[in-house]
């Protein structure tokens, strides 16, 4: 095991445990057996539309099934285990949460801590390309940041939320803030998030003094109602039309997660092919260009092999009750806020809307990229984050 990027800062309060991904072989054999035994329903009018306007096609699922049967998870493990990984127990409200995270620790004295927060149906996998760029670009002595990529409670190798009480994004934020404190970053860090991660990053920047700034690449909100549409660029108008179409035709999954998380959670735990259909569709529909099939299979394999799908969708229950919304005055970010705008993201609302949600100190519009920005456009994403941090003058 390489020791590069593994030296914690002297301010760390506790030492996390080293972690290596090692899925039991029996679980992988079971996955292959289930895939081989599974059947795919007959083609329908809806599942034959190459436009995928009604969801994935029969042909795509048949092809994905065959490739998944021959998918080599061991190669994925080997690659992921080249990144420093850890677990740390965080005690919160009477419960101990074992939080899994990837990290690149810098040996530079004034390195800035940065926490990267995934969403759904993402995972820490969203940021491995970014980490790979950083460890290639910098030595441990020159890396300008301590980069922490945690798995949310209930995702991948982190502990699941409790079964006897409600658990929400506010709880996730509190746990992650404590994680950063225990790692030695109580003097300040920057939070970055997309999708649901943008919600947690917003909470951190609003409620916790340790979070000095937030960079987002997602902003789910309703029309503020007081902005002249003449201010919108042609690009913004096109993206906003996409946002509206998504809300009309693509948001059904969210309603299911919000209202029947138990049913969908139990149902998708019975079949890897069902999970692939439900999750794989999102990687196809929410990206600018279709990602490589192996990339989708890696993410769905992680969900299946860690048996985590049912414990990943709890944030959607906040859809009808949570006050944590980008447009809420209570969650206006007064600290510096950065934003990266990608045209094919279903949260690509106009800049004028985003400006109503925080102290916008950095904004960059891109001409390509979708919902999974760090996965789709890792270099553009990283450049934005680095430029935003440079403008903060925190070092």
Catalytic residues: 195, 316, 371
Name the 3-class secondary structure at 338: strand
Whose CA is closest to 72, among 121, 133, 28, 10? 28
Beta strands (DSSP E) in 94-231 are: 95-104, 112-117, 145-150, 189-193, 211-216
Q: How far is CA 321 from CA 168, 202, 248, 258, in A?
A: 11, 17, 21, 10
What CA–CA distance (Å, rounded) separates 150 from 156?
10
Name the 3-class secondary structure at 337: strand
- Dmax of the chain from CA atoms? 62
Is the peptide bond preceding residue 121 cis, with omega within 30 degrees of 0? yes
Q: How far is CA 274 from CA 40, 264, 270, 280, 310, in A?
A: 10, 10, 8, 10, 13
DSSP β-bridge partners for residue 363 = 339
């Amino acid at each position: 095991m390489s020791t590069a990027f593994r030296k914690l800062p002297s301010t760390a309060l506790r030492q996390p445990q080293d972690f290596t991904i090692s899925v039991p072989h029996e679980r992988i054999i079971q996955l292959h057996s289930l895939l081989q035994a599974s059947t795919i329903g007959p083609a329908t009018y809806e599942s034959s539309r190459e436009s995928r306007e009604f969801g994935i096609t029969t042909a795509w699922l048949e092809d994905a099934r065959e490739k998944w049967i021959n998918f080599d998870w061991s190669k994925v493990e080997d690659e992921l285990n080249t990144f420093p990984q850890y677990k740390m127990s965080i005690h919160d409200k009477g419960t101990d949460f074992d939080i899994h995270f990837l990290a690149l620790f810098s040996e530079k004295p004034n390195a800035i801590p940065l926490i990267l927060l995934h969403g759904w149906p993402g995972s820490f996998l969203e940021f491995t390309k970014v980490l790979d760029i950083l460890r290639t670009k910098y030595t441990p002595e020159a890396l300008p940041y301590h980069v922490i990529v945690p798995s949310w409670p209930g995702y991948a190798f982190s502990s699941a939320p409790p079964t006897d009480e409600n658990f929400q994004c506010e709880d996730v934020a509190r746990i992650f803030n404590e994680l950063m404190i225990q790692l030695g970053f109580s003097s300040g860090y920057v939070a970055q998030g997309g999708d649901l991660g943008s919600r947690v990053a917003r909470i951190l920047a609003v409620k916790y003094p340790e979070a000095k700034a937030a960079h987002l690449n997602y902003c789910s909100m309703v029309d503020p109602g007081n902005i002249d549409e003449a201010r919108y660029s042609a690009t913004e108008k096109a993206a906003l039309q996409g946002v509206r179409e998504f809300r009309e035709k693509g948001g059904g999954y969210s309603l299911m997660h919000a209202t029947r998380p138990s049913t969908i959670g139990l149902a998708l735990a019975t079949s890897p092919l069902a999970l692939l259909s439900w999750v794989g569709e999102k990687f196809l529909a929410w990206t600018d260009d279709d990602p490589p099939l192996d990339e989708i299979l890696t993410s769905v394999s992680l969900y299946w092999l860690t048996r985590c799908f049912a414990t990943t969708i709890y944030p959607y229950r906040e859809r009808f009750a949570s006050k944590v919304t980008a447009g809420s005055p209570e969650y206006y970010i007064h600290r510096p806020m950065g934003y990266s705008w990608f045209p094919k993201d279903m949260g690509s609302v106009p800049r004028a809307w985003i400006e109503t949600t925080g102290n916008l100190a950095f904004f960059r519009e891109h001409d390509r990229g979708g919902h999974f920005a760090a996965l789709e456009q890792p270099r553009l994403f990283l450049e934005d984050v680095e430029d935003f941090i440079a403008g903060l003058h925190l070092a």
